[in-house]
Chain A
Amino acid sequence: MKKVGLFICHCGSNIAGTVNIEKVKNYFLSEKGITVSDDYKYMCSEPGQKKLRDAITEKELNGVVVACCSPRMHEITFRNAALAAGLNPYQVEIANIREQCSWVHQKDKEKATEKAIQIIKTMIEKVKRDEPLTPIEFDITKKALVIGGGIAGITAAVDIANAGYEVILVEKKHSIGGKMLQLSETFPTLDCAQCTLTPKTVEAGRHPKIKLMVYSQLEEVKGYIGNFDVKIRKKASYVDWSKCTGCGLCQEKCPTKTESEFDRGIGERKAIYTLSPQAVPNKPIIDKESCRFFREGKCRVCEKVCPVGAINYEMKDEVIEEKVGAIVVATGFDVLDVEKIPEYGYGVYPDVIDGLQFERLNSASGPTGGEIRRPSDGKVPKEVVFIKCVGSRDPEKGIPYCSRICCMYLGKHARLYKHKVPDGQAYLFYMDIRSFGKGYEEFIQQSMEEADLLYIRGRVARIMQEGDKLVVWGADTLSGRKVEIKADMVVLATAAVPSKGAKELANVLRTATDEYGFFSEAHIKLKPVESMTGGIYLAGCAQSPKDIPDTVAQAGAAAAKVLSLFGQEKMVQEPLVAFVEEDLCSGCGLCVTACPFDARQVDVDTKISLVNEALCQGCGACVSVCPNKASKLRNAKPETYMAMLEKYL
């Protein structure tokens, strides 16, 4: 026989203002099986909890009902208090008489009091049937998977690896470094991006705890926080990297040239190529699309010149399986397809370029060796128009949000342009200048003063080619004029959008993205690096556009989350999960299809359905489909609910 204690909380006047606490308390004093019926102004306060602990010890209670607010608020508080007094916490139930009673029935105190009694009665029935349960514990695979080898992924991987855990760093391209490696110099200090980044890429490349998997993509994820089973596809590079020494002879001799993606189409590369001179790993791949051998069946020059015989045209994709405990998503961003804004003529006029193309023009490793020369004829442009918010803050043609980086990088571009072309003039069309970071506003002001940058407040409506000039029609809203500039080159600060394939990756990971395709955080303020799925964390632009300092900070935070998971001995999970009455189970498997968490499976030998307690979320889908009522939830059996209902009706 259960000895049940009832504790009614006034919640100040939140409950007591509507529900007649005295009446409720007295009602249960005379109920059978109720050992204690007590009340207190704030049960969640320390004196309130003491009341509960003392009663458990003194009256030897083995069931407790606290009538108070929603279980979301203080169930954990009272369960811990019970545990401290030696009572199994799963013998404590909450009767919600605030959200479900006093708050919604403030106008009818009498009926509210009656309803409170009804609610408490049903929870007493539940507590009478509650069994003591033990939290489920399972092991954690203390190895992390980081997806994306840009500055975010590299930072997270190195931080986790430095703490002594193994990391698999997966990158889609065939070397790491991401967008940052394409940049020339970075704001607000104008230090060389490669010089800042390469120590990190090198560190990631040779870290004993980091397994680099470039030219690879995540294909499948199963499992749950602490224990994920992942499959990674390693694409065929047609070069045996275990033999390749990275001498570069193949690249030199390859007869096929094509547009370089790394240079965003304004430079060329060979069909067999490394992404950049500082590539980590410094190993080439053959691009099947452009390779003459793959297209026409003859050539094989690279094979002939390779001194170590590393070329292998027969190579196939490999799928590698790994077990990891946590995943960091650091897939970065892409730039908006500006052809959606046809009035700017991007893709039609060669001298209308985007910000990343300007970075390549200005980069010492870029197609012009760092000289600012326009793509059409290689001339040094003397008048350059820079346009901000191209696609950003443009709900009609682009995206409504602010891309956050353009104000700074375009200011930087204009300043770098002036460093290289001192007699040139830079015009910057802007709507607002958002220079919120440390040292940013100073940078912008200094640029205006030192480089005579002309900021023009207004958007551009149209760009037209007239002879070898680009005619730019803009507005200066501050003087109320339409502006016409005959420019030699135009640089568009195009919006940052989620990287291609982010949505598909989110599906593989079974986590959510926002309306644009950026990965959703669990809480915008309090859980900014946690995804909506346990064990999956977010870093950098995969979550939303951000600059390098913010990206690095977030990557460090994601690593810290992984480490706090790995720092635990075992994973602990609520035991309120499904179980099977084996005598009743016929092994029909309906529960397997009903389960949204892949937690059910029928044992091939015994023909009895099993529950993976680590995966089960206690949703009850299996309970409702089971024709034999063999699937049940712990402490929430159908017969318990029937008894509760009977008491209520």
Chain B
Amino acid sequence: MILALNKEQFKSEYARSIKEVSAQKIMSCYQCGKCTAGCPLADKMDYVPNEMMRLVMLGEIEELLQSNAIWLCTSCFQCGTRCPKGIEVHRVFEALRSLALRNGINRTDIEELPSDILDEVPQQAIVAGYRKFESLE
């Protein structure tokens, strides 16, 4: 697939939203891959963290909203801790996740978890799950 680039793409509402909501200097990313190198879930992601950053730079947001990568990020903050450019990559993931939820894309329905699991999982995970995985719409 050809990536057709034009200046409108970088200024799309989605692209702007990710930059604003994450409050990160996305264009300063030089694609070193250190975020990917330390990511505990990178091996399970369809777009590894540096690829996610690259697509955000290119304005290809919709593709990312359909990815599994944005839901696999656990906000462990390794990427942001180690980024040589001081980008909090985890906040970019969060902005994407938030944009997906605001667009009605749901990851999981927590109430449908088996009750034996729900009984055991600490509230911390349930509250986090509601916040990170369930659309309010």
Q: Does a CB–CB distance below 8 Å link A and B in the complex?
A: yes
Q: Mark A residues whose CB is within 8 Å of B.
A: 343, 389, 393-398, 431, 457-462, 473-477, 480-483
Query: How distant is B54 from chain A, measured CB to nearest CB, in Å?
Result: 8
Residue B135 interfacial (CB < 8 Å): no
Other-chain residue from B30, B37, B50 in contact with A460 (beta carbon distance below 8 A) = B37
B16 surroundings in chain A (CB, below 8 A): none
A278 and B78 CA atoms in complex are apart in Å by 48
A475 touches B34 (CB 8 A): yes
Complex: A646 Cα to B36 Cα, angstroms: 73
Sample of 16 further A-B pairs with CB below 8 A, known A393-B30, A462-B37, A473-B37: A396-B86, A398-B84, A459-B32, A460-B37, A461-B37, A475-B34, A475-B48, A475-B50, A477-B31, A477-B33, A477-B50, A480-B47, A482-B36, A482-B39, A482-B48, A483-B37
- A461–B48 CA distance with the chains assembled, in angstroms: 14
**Contacting pair A461 B84 (CB below 8 A):** no
B109 interfacial by beta-carbon distance below 8 Å: no
Contact check, A461 vs B50: say whether CB atoms are below 8 A apart: no
14 intermolecular pairs with C-beta atoms under 8 Å apart: A395-B84, A395-B86, A431-B30, A458-B32, A458-B50, A459-B32, A460-B37, A461-B78, A475-B32, A475-B34, A475-B36, A477-B33, A481-B36, A482-B42
Q: Check B48–A481 contact: CB distance below 8 A.
A: yes
Residues of B within 8 A of A461 (CB): 34-39, 78, 82
Q: Is B65 an interface residue (CB 8 A)?
A: no
Whether the Cβ atoms of A459 and B84 lie closer than 8 Å is yes
Q: Are B36 and A396 in contact (CB under 8 A)?
A: no
Q: Is B83 an interface residue (CB 8 A)?
A: yes
Residue B112 lies at the interface, judged by CB distance under 8 Å to chain A: no
Q: Are B84 and A475 in contact (CB under 8 A)?
A: no
Across the interface, do B37 and A475 meet the contact criterion of CB distance under 8 Å?
yes
- With an 8 A cutoff between CB atoms, is B43 at the interface? yes
Cα of A481 to Cα of B113 in the assembled complex, Å: 32
Give every chain B residue within 8 A of A458 (Cβ-Cβ).
Answer: 32-34, 36-37, 50
Which residues of the partner chain B approach A397 to less than 8 Å between Cβ atoms? 84
Name which residue of chain B comes closest to A456, CB basis: B33
CA distance A457 to B43 in the complex (A): 17
**Residues of B that sit less than 8 Å from A by CB:** 30-39, 42-43, 47-48, 50-51, 78, 82-86
A462 B33 Cβ-Cβ under 8 A: no
The smallest beta-carbon distance between B92 and chain A, in angstroms, is: 16
Q: Are B39 and A480 in contact (CB under 8 A)?
A: no
**What B residues does A393 contact at CB under 8 A?**
30, 84
B85 CB contact (under 8 Å) in A395, A457, A460, A480: A395
Q: Are B38 and A473 in contact (CB under 8 A)?
A: yes
B84 near A457 with CB under 8 A, answer no
* Min distance, Cβ A573 to any Cβ of chain B, angstroms: 48
Contact A482 B51 (CB under 8 A): no
Which chain A positions have C-beta within 8 A of B47?
480
Partner of A482, one of B31, B32, B37, B84: B37
A481 to B48, CA, bound (A): 7
Once A461-B78, A482-B42, A482-B48 are accepted as A-B contacts, the answer to whether A477 and B85 lie under 8 Å apart by CB is: no
A480 touches B51 (CB 8 A): yes
Chain B residue with the shortest CB-CB distance to A458: B33
CB–CB B85/A459 < 8 A: no
In the bound complex, CA of A396 to CA of B82 (Å): 8
Please give me the residue from chain B that is nearest to A476 by CB atom. Answer: B33
C-alpha gap A247/B51 in the complex (Å): 63
Query: Measured between C-beta atoms, what is the minimum distance from B137 to chain A in Å?
Result: 32
Closest to B79 in A: A461
Which residue of chain A has its CB nearest to the CB of B49? Answer: A475
Which A residues are CB-close (under 8 A) to B31? 431, 477
Which residues of chain B are near A394, meaning CB under 8 Å? Answer: 84
Q: Across chains A and B, which 4 residue pairs bring their CB atoms closest together, nearest first?
A: A461-B38, A475-B33, A458-B33, A461-B37
Kindly list chain A residues whose C-beta atoms are within 8 Å of the C-beta of B83. Answer: 396
How far is B37's CA from A458's CA once the two chains are assembled, in angstroms? 8
Distance between B90 CB and nearest chain A CB, rounded to angstroms: 14
Closest chain A CB from B93 CB (angstroms): 16
CB-CB nearest in chain A for B78: A461
> Which B residues are CB-close (under 8 A) to A396?
83-86
- Residues on B with C-beta less than 8 A from A343 are 38, 82
Tell me the complex Cα distance, A343–B81, Å. 11
Chain A residues with CB below 8 A from B34, complex form: 458-461, 475
Nearest-CB residue, chain B, relative to A482:
B42
**A residues less than 8 Å from B42 (CB atoms):** 475, 481-482
B residues less than 8 Å from A398 (CB atoms): 84
Which of chain B's residues has its CB closest to A483's CB?
A: B37
Report chain A residues within 8 Å CB of B43. 481-482
Q: Which residues of chain B come closer than 8 Å to A462, judged between CB atoms?
A: 37-38
Q: Looking at the assembled complex, report how far the CB atom of A228 sits from the nearest CB atom of chain B, in whole angstroms.
A: 42
B87 (CB) vs chain A CBs: closest residue: A396
Which residue of A394, A459, A481, A483 has the most chain B CB atoms within 10 A of its CB atom?
A: A459
Taken together as a complex, chains A and B put the C-alpha atoms of A518 and B84 apart, in Å, by 22
Cβ distance A337 to chain B, nearest Cβ, rounded Å: 16
Residues of B within 8 A of A460 (CB): 34, 37
CB distance from B64 to the nearest CB of A (A): 14
Contact flag A431-B32 (CB < 8 Å), given A343-B82, A461-B82: yes
A residues in contact with B86, CB < 8 Å: 395-396
In this complex, which of B30, B42, B78 has the most chain A Cβ atoms within 10 angstroms of its Cβ? B42
Report which residue of B43, B78, B83 has the largest number of chain A beta carbons within 10 angstroms of its beta carbon.
B83
CA A474 to CA B36, docked complex, whole Å: 8
Q: How far is the CA of A394 from the CA of B66 in the complex (A)?
A: 33
A345 to chain B, nearest CB (A): 14
Most chain-B CB neighbours within 10 Å: which of A473, A480, A483?
Answer: A480
Chain B's closest residue to A461 (CB) is B38
Query: Shortest Cβ distance from B73 into chain A, in angstroms?
Result: 14
CA distance A516 to B83 in the complex (A): 21
Which residues of A lie under 8 Å from residue B33 when comparing CB positions? 457-459, 474-477
Q: Which B residues are in CB contact (< 8 Å) with A459?
A: 32-34, 37, 84
Shortest Cβ gap from B60 to chain A (Å): 14
Most chain B CB neighbours (cut-off 10 Å) among A462, A476, A477: A477
Among B37, B38, B47, B83, chain A packs the most CB atoms within 10 A around the CB of: B37
Cα–Cα distance between A396 and B80 once the two chains are bound (Å): 11
* A474 contacts across to B, CB distance below 8 A: 33, 37
Q: How far is the CB of B21 from chain A (nearest CB, A)?
A: 23
CA of A431 to CA of B33, assembled, Å: 9
Chain A hits for B37, CB < 8 A:
458-462, 473-475, 482-483
List B contacts of A475 (CB < 8 A).
32-37, 42, 48, 50
CA distance A458 to B39 in the complex (A): 13
CA distance A458 to B54 in the complex (A): 14
Q: How far is the CA of A389 from the CA of B85 in the complex (A)?
A: 13
CA distance A431 to B50 in the complex (A): 13
Task: Note all chain B residues with C-beta closer than 8 A to A481.
Answer: 36, 42-43, 48
- Measured between beta carbons, the chain A residues less than 8 angstroms from B78 are 461
Q: Note all chain A residues with C-beta closer than 8 A to B50.
A: 458, 475, 477, 480
Chain B residues near A480 (CB-CB < 8 A):
36, 47-48, 50-51
In Å, the complex CA distance between A457 and B30 comes to: 12
Bound state CA distance, A398 and B86, in angstroms? 12
